[in-house]
Structure 1
Amino acid sequence: MSQDTFDVYNLQAEAENIRLDAFLSTKIDGVSRSYVKKLIDEGYVKVNGHVVKPSYKVKKGDDISVCIPEPQELKIEPEAIPLDILYEDSDIIVINKPQGMVVHPAPGNYHGTLVNALLYHCGDNLSGINGIIRPGIVHRLDKDTSGVILAAKTNSAHLKLAQQIKNREIKKIYNAIVFGNIKEENNTINAPIGRHPVERKKMAVVEDGRSAVTHYRVLERFGEYTYVEARIETGRTHQVRVHFAYIKHPILGDTTYGPKKQPFNLKGQVLHARLLGFVHPAKNEYMEIEAPLPDYFEELLHKLRRTCGSNNFISGGNGSEGIQGH
């Protein structure tokens, strides 16, 4: 980190028992508490030479160093990338995102993202609430998670959809194949998720994390693997992946939260956002949009059925009846 690239602040705590993110947001002009939290999470803040959590309670005399990177001027270019459009009107667009596509530009991925494709397809007709990096993006999927993703064309639509997400009114159903034989036919994982205490790029179930609830049911069993459907009440980063790893059934293909060595020569986690249910922000009508399983997922299911046999709970194994509720 150089002085040419970062603004460096060296502070000393003069109060006790105040959260670090709250303390710094009052000491550094022009930054919000959420931005400070992001800096802490990404390791740009150290207390007495150590990386800590945003919830760290400062003590009198703590030496606090903060490095704020200079904002980069970015121009996100439209790119003629084919989109699998599931639904579109003047207010929203719903895409079936392929595995391997990044949702929005970030360091190392400024091209080939869903945002680049949306800018080409929609032109200026995308909401601007999330700024130049994430125009129209209401929620996200991980790079290697395929399936239904919703974008807003107007600020009004964006705000109404964001409110539904905040109120847990959007129905999100995923299909996944996990390691091991899950004994229960259905269950709920209620475990808070936050930044991993050591590996800051990962998430984990942590005591002081944010509430996270995942309901799941078994669709098919293959001995060493289980095909499941999951409905999430909350939308925490990596939620489905973290929760299944937490119950000792990591998602097949997930080298971040599961084994480093994976079978079947997979290119990422076998996780598909199959269904999204929401109230249309302009028509005020409830609608559900579904994305069929991608080819690689279907092929893997056929392979497991041939080689392992299966105990089918759902005809065809696509979970079409689903976990109820939204």
Structure 2
Amino acid sequence: MQEKAYKLLALQENISNREAKDLIDRGLVFSSGKKVVLARALMREGTKFSLLKTKKPKILFEDEKILAINKPYSYISEELESEFKAKLLNRLDKETSGLILLCKDETFRQLCIEEFKRQRVYKSYIAVLDGILAEEVVVDEPISTSKSKNGAFSKIVKDGQNALSTISPLMIQSKKTLAKICIQTGRTHQIRVHSAFIKHPVVGDEKYGKIVADRMYLHSYELKILDYEFKANLDESFAKLGFELKNLDF
């Protein structure tokens, strides 16, 4: 006999069907070591599931104008607004962890938005890329994004919006590269598209890299805006891939 994955998970964990579906949609459910991708996928009765535990968002800095949060993997950016009673300044994909900013003051928020528009904000990310990247690569390829009920999808096209990424290798381990990626622009899925373009997609990026992993190994690391400078350290999941993060100077 077969049943939908979320219903089997709900029975195992003694939670509602809605809660079970949400866990699968967030990429937190595994069976036989493989991520359960579709909540409605038919699976055999008796299938055993394991859940990936995530941490709660951590406040890195707070004053009367701004909040800097270290967002865990699988956490939806918009959920932070209701949790911290402030408006998002930037967003991260659900699959991306790291630094995200919220503004308490609307006048200050508009000032920050203008800084983003004028590309006067420094942004860096840390990612684990598939394969060995030996030298720094600058990717200057325009990106176009389309949106549907299945979410956003970006691709490189000649008449797209300009997009510039500088990808610098930090460490190589088991045919994977830990890299620091600085983006001058902020197009939708820019890092994921550009890294896939150079044949070194982000590990765990199933949409552009077709690589299945326990999570997508992309982390918003630094952001500098106006007189503020923020940094969000990596979590221990990166160390699981063999990278000795404490010994690295990013």
TM-score, normalised by the number of residues in structure 2: 0.72
Tell me which of the two structures has the higher relative contact order, counting C-alpha pairs closer than 8 angstroms and 6 or more residues apart.
2
For 2:201 and 2:142, the matched residues in 1 are separated by 17
Aligned to 1:271: 218
Q: Do the aligned partners of residues 118 and 253 (structure 1) sit closer, same or farther apart at CA in structure 2, a change above 3 Å counting?
A: same
Matched, 1:89 2:36: no
Matched, 1:316 2:239: no
SS at match of 1:296: coil
Larger Rg: 1
Q: Please tell me the residue identity of whatever aligns with 2:181.
A: A
Alpha-carbon deviation of 1:223?
A: 4.8
Aligned to 2:111: 160
Q: Deviations over 1:14-52 (max 9, x none)?
A: xxxxxxxxxxxxxxxxxxxxxxxxxxxxxxxxxxxxxxx
Q: Which runs of 5+ in 2 are unaligned?
A: 1-54
CA contact 1:83–1:117 (8 Å) conserved in 2: no
Q: Deviations over 1:78-131 (max 9, x none)?
A: xxx953101111111110111100111xxxxxxxx2223123xxxxxx3xxxxx
Q: Please tell me the residue identity of whatever aligns with 1:101.
A: Y
For 1:197 and 1:292, the matched residues in 2 are separated by 31
Runs of 4+ in structure 1 over 6 Å off: 197-200
Q: Do the aligned partners of residues 200 and 96 (structure 1) sit closer, same or farther apart at CA in structure 2, a change above 3 Å counting?
A: closer
For 1:168 and 1:274, the matched residues in 2 are separated by 18
Aligned to 2:143: 193
For 2:131 and 2:248, the matched residues in 1 are separated by 18
Q: Do the aligned partners of residues 204 and 318 (structure 1) sit closer, same or farther apart at CA in structure 2, a change above 3 Å counting?
A: farther
Alpha-carbon deviation of 1:256?
A: 0.6
Aligned to 1:300: 241
Q: Please tell me the residue identity of whatever aligns with 1:162.
A: I
For 2:169 and 2:218, the matched residues in 1 are separated by 14
For 1:257 and 1:301, the matched residues in 2 are separated by 24
Q: Deviations over 1:265-289 (max 9, x none)?
A: 413x10011111111xxxxxx2311
CA contact 2:165–2:194 (8 Å) conserved in 1: yes
Matched, 1:290 2:231: yes
Q: Which runs of 5+ in 1 are unaligned?
A: 1-80, 105-112, 120-125, 127-135, 280-285, 306-313, 320-326
**Greater share of strand residues, 1 or 2?**
2
SS at match of 1:194: strand
Aligned to 1:244: 195
For 1:175 and 1:318, the matched residues in 2 are separated by 12
Q: In structure 1, which of residues 216, 221, 242 is the aligned counterpart of residue 167 of structure 2? A: 216
TM-score, normalised by the number of residues in structure 1: 0.56
CA contact 1:276–1:289 (8 Å) conserved in 2: yes
Alpha-carbon deviation of 1:315?
A: 7.8
Aligned to 1:63: none
Q: Please tell me the residue identity of whatever aligns with 1:176.
A: A
Alpha-carbon deviation of 1:167?
A: 1.0
CA contact 2:173–2:242 (8 Å) conserved in 1: no
CA contact 1:218–1:226 (8 Å) conserved in 2: yes
Q: Please tell me the residue identity of whatever aligns with 1:181.
A: I
For 2:93 and 2:223, the matched residues in 1 are separated by 16
For 2:199 and 2:146, the matched residues in 1 are separated by 17
For 1:117 and 1:242, the matched residues in 2 are separated by 31
Aligned to 1:282: none
Aligned to 2:179: 228
5 Å-filtered alignment, 1:1-326, equals 82-104=56-78, 113-119=79-85, 126=86, 136-184=87-135, 186-195=136-145, 201-260=152-211, 262=212, 265-267=213-215, 269-279=216-226, 286-302=227-243, 316-319=247-250
For 1:83 and 1:254, the matched residues in 2 are separated by 22
For 2:203 and 2:56, the matched residues in 1 are separated by 28
For 2:175 and 2:124, the matched residues in 1 are separated by 23
For 2:240 and 2:159, the matched residues in 1 are separated by 40
